[in-house]
Amino acid sequence: MGVDRKFLLCGLFFAIAGLCLGIYMAASRNHSEMPAHAHIMLVGFVFSFIYATIHRLWLPGLVGKLKSIQFILHELGALLLAVGLLLLFSGHGSEDSLAPLLGTGAICVLLAMLTMAWMVLRARPVTG
């Protein structure tokens, strides 16, 4: 399975999780987990979908480990952020105890974005 499809499937997973959290917040009338919901939808779903599109349309001929590294960095970072923010905003952990988890997640997402930028800058333009 190509990295574009992996990103798409992970993005859809995050979209489902984010929508379920949104429905839960609406039903409970407790929106304290809104920051977690926003990060799940943006970092998990939207970024993954954009990365899938970029890999499919602009990086189809790129081979090597860099694509896989970027995928792992992003999805791991998105998952760490989602879990950490859910724990934080649901009251199941303090900022101090979750800081390493959240910091690691944020750094992974940033490194994945920098890796994507590097791949796009180095890629040969696709003609068609």
SS (H, E, C) the chain: CCHHHHHHHHHHHHHHHHHHHHHHHHHHCCCCCHHHHHHHHHHHHHHHHHHHHHHHHCCCCCCCHHHHHHHHHHHHHHHHHHHHHHHHHCCCCCHHHHHHHHHHHHHHHHHHHHHHHHHHHHCCCCCC
Give yes or no for residue 126 having a pLDDT over 70. Answer: no
Structural domain of 89: 3-122
- Domain membership of residue 127 (yes or no) is no
- Domain membership of residue 116 (yes or no) is yes
pTM value? 0.92
- Domain membership of residue 111 (yes or no) is yes
Q: Give the pLDDT of residue 128.
A: 57
- Domain membership of residue 82 (yes or no) is yes
Number of domains in the chain: 1
Instruction: Label residue 32 by pLDDT band (50, 70, 90).
Output: very high
